[in-house]
């Protein structure tokens, strides 16, 4: 299997003359070139653990077929280089990491192999589309959103993934008793998250102590080095 740059959101809108309409997304595209080490890891593990986006776009796609079993589903959006996926053990769950930076997926595969995480699959696709189109209502046990891009400039705030429509979508996809975990090193974004999620019907929670299972990621270390406040949030459905 060869690496693939993350596609535009599947099923995106078209202009009147048939061109793909530019859509607002919460991520920035980055290079897809692999190091020699990443290429070796990819070649060894991607055929087993990386889901082809084209397969997900098919109408007959089924999660049990890619995991090889039926189990509660956990989703991490923006899994980066896989620090959380490699550290958190959930052997009784199917865990999906969504990351559009493909070299980060390769690094994740190495971490998963080293940790023996055979119940994790990786996918490079637009996470909002995935939640809306391929995860059924009440099918998600947990959602992890760790250090998403805060899009600091005011004119870019519309690109933040945490928006009212997204909170409504997450609520619908979580099972009763399901949990949405978030973390950020940017206090204004933490406040934005609370402003959006606190009033969302069906969710209750807010700022919490650090999630004990969450590893110290490179983004968190960078934030600490800059003396930023780290904020963990958790919201329960029901």
Question: If you write DSSP's letter for every residue of 75-122 in order, what string do you get?
Answer: EEES-TTSHHHHH---TTSEEEEE-S-HHHHHHHHHHHHHHT-TTEEE
Which CATH number do you get for residue 205? 3.40.50.150
Q: Is 34 annotated in some ligand binding site?
A: no
Is residue 124, in this structure, part of any structural domain at all? yes
Quick one: pLDDT at residue 29? 54
**Residue with the two structure tokens 């084209």:** 54
Per-residue pLDDT of the chain (238 residues; tens, 9 = 90+): 445 444 445 655 444 544 444 455 544 555 678 999 999 999 999 999 999 999 999 999 999 999 999 999 999 999 999 999 999 999 999 999 999 999 999 999 999 999 999 999 999 999 999 999 999 999 999 999 999 988 566 664 686 999 999 999 999 999 999 999 999 999 999 999 999 999 999 999 999 999 999 999 888 998 999 999 999 999 999 9
Quick one: pLDDT at residue 32? 75
CB neighbourhood size of 177 (10 A): 9
* Spatial separation of the C-alpha atoms in residues 170 and 128, rounded to whole Å: 9
* Spatial separation of the C-alpha atoms in residues 33 and 51, rounded to whole Å: 19
Enter the pTM of the model: 0.87
Is residue 60, in this structure, part of any structural domain at all? no
Quick one: pLDDT at residue 97? 98
Q: What is the pLDDT of residues 18-63, one digit of tens each?
A: 444 445 554 455 567 899 999 999 999 999 999 999 999 999 999 9
Q: Is 226 annotated in some ligand binding site?
A: no
Is residue 104, in this structure, part of any structural domain at all? yes
Q: Is 126 annotated in some ligand binding site?
A: yes
* Spatial separation of the C-alpha atoms in residues 208 and 202, rounded to whole Å: 18
Q: Is 99 annotated in some ligand binding site?
A: yes
CB neighbourhood size of 195 (10 A): 11
- Asked if residues 175 and 140 have their Cβ atoms less than 8 Å apart, the reply is yes
Q: Is 217 annotated in some ligand binding site?
A: yes
* Spatial separation of the C-alpha atoms in residues 128 and 147, rounded to whole Å: 17
Is residue 169, in this structure, part of any structural domain at all? yes
Burial readout 65-74 (b: 16 or more C-beta within 10 A, e: otherwise)? ebbeeebebb
* Spatial separation of the C-alpha atoms in residues 49 and 39, rounded to whole Å: 15
Is residue 11, in this structure, part of any structural domain at all? no
Is residue 13, in this structure, part of any structural domain at all? no
Quick one: pLDDT at residue 218? 85
User: Which domain does 212 fall in, by range?
Assistant: 36-52+65-237
What is the percent of the chain where pLDDT is above 90?
79
Is residue 4, in this structure, part of any structural domain at all? no
Straight-line distance from the first to the last Cα atom of the chain, in angstroms, rounded to the nearest whole number: 42
Domains of the chain: total: 1
- Asked if residues 14 and 21 have their Cβ atoms less than 8 Å apart, the reply is yes
Q: Which of 43, 149, 172, 232 is catalytic?
A: 149
Residue 149 designated active-site: yes
- Asked if residues 160 and 198 have their Cβ atoms less than 8 Å apart, the reply is no
Is residue 109, in this structure, part of any structural domain at all? yes
* Spatial separation of the C-alpha atoms in residues 29 and 58, rounded to whole Å: 24
């Amino acid at each position: 299997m060869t690496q693939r740059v993350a596609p535009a959101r599947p099923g995106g809108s078209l202009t009147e003359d048939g061109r793909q309409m530019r859509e607002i997304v919460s991520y920035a595209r980055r290079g897809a070139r692999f190091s020699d080490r990443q290429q070796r890891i990819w070649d060894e593990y991607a055929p087993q653990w990386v889901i082809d986006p084209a397969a997900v776009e098919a109408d007959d796609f089924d999660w049990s077929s890619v995991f090889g079993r039926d189990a509660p589903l956990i989703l991490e959006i923006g899994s980066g280089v896989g620090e959380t996926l490699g550290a958190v053990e959930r052997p009784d769950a199917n865990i999906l990491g969504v990351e559009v930076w493909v070299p980060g997926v390769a690094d994740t595969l190495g971490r998963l192999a080293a940790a023996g995480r055979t119940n994790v699959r990786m996918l490079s696709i637009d996470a909002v589309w995935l939640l809306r189109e391929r995860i059924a209502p009440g099918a998600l046990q947990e959602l992890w959103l760790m250090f998403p891009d805060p899009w600091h400039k005011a004119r870019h705030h519309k690109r933040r993934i945490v928006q009212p429509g997204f909170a409504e979508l997450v609520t619908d996809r979580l099972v009763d008793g399901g949990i949405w975990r978030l973390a950020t090193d940017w206090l204004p974004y933490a406040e934005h998250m609370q402003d959006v999620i606190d009033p969302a019907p069906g969710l209750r929670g807010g700022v919490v102590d650090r999630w004990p299972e969450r590893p110290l990621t490179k983004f968190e270390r960078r934030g600490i080095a800059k003396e930023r406040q780290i904020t963990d949030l958790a919201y329960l459905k029901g």
